[in-house]
């Protein structure tokens, strides 16, 4: 197997990490919705926390995407 093909496979494998980020983002928003429906009056104050949690969960998916790009284009 030549290096170019291995690079492609490696980039594809690196993108698997984004699946984990997707699960994490789903958990963050799902739990926010559960909490917000139980106590809607408190929900708007937690919007900042929601976005912060979303950003944290997303960061690692982004890292794996960047890793895939680095494998492909460097």
Partner 1 sequence: MRSGMIPAIRLTTKAEWKKPDMALASMDPMHQFQVNVVASIHAGPIDISITNVVVAMWFAVGIAIALLFLATSKRALIPGRGQSVAEITYEFIADMIRSTAGSEGLRFFPFVFTLFIFVLASNMLGMVPGFFTVTSQVVVTATLALTVFATVIGYGFYKNGFKFLKLFVPPGVPKIILPFIVLIELMSFFSRPLSHSLRLFANMLGGHTVLKVFAGFVITIGGMSGLASVGAIGPFVFSVAILALEFLVAFLQAYVFAILTCIYLNDALHPGH
Tokens, residue 61 = 């998916």
| Per CB under 8 A, 38 contacts partner 1 | no
Q: Which of these ranges, 3-11, 23-31, 35-43, 53-61, lies near partner 1 under the rule CB under 8 A?
A: 53-61
Q: Where are the alpha helices (DSSP H) in the chain?
A: 3-14, 17-38, 40-43, 47-73
In whole angstroms, how close is the CB of 35 to partner 1 at the nearest point?
17
The least distance separating partner 1 from the CB of residue 52, rounded to whole angstroms, comes to 6
43 makes contact with partner 1 (CB under 8 A)? no
**What is the C-alpha separation between 4 and 42, in angstroms, rounded?**
53
* Binding flag, residue 33, partner 1 (CB under 8 A): no
Instruction: Report the 10 Å Cβ neighbour count for 68.
Output: 20
State how far the Cα of 70 lies from the Cα of 47, in Å rounded to an integer: 34
What does the binding site for partner 1 look like in residue numbers (CB under 8 A)? 45, 48, 51-52, 54-55, 58-59, 62-63, 65-66, 69, 73
């Amino acid at each position: 197997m030549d290096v170019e093909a291995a690079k492609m496979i490696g980039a594809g494998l690196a993108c698997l990490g984004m699946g984990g980020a997707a699960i994490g983002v789903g958990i963050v928003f799902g739990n926010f919705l559960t909490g917000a429906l139980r106590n809607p009056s408190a929900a708007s104050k937690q919007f900042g926390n929601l976005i912060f949690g979303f950003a944290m969960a997303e960061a690692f998916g982004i890292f794996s995407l960047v890793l895939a790009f680095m494998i492909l284009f460097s």
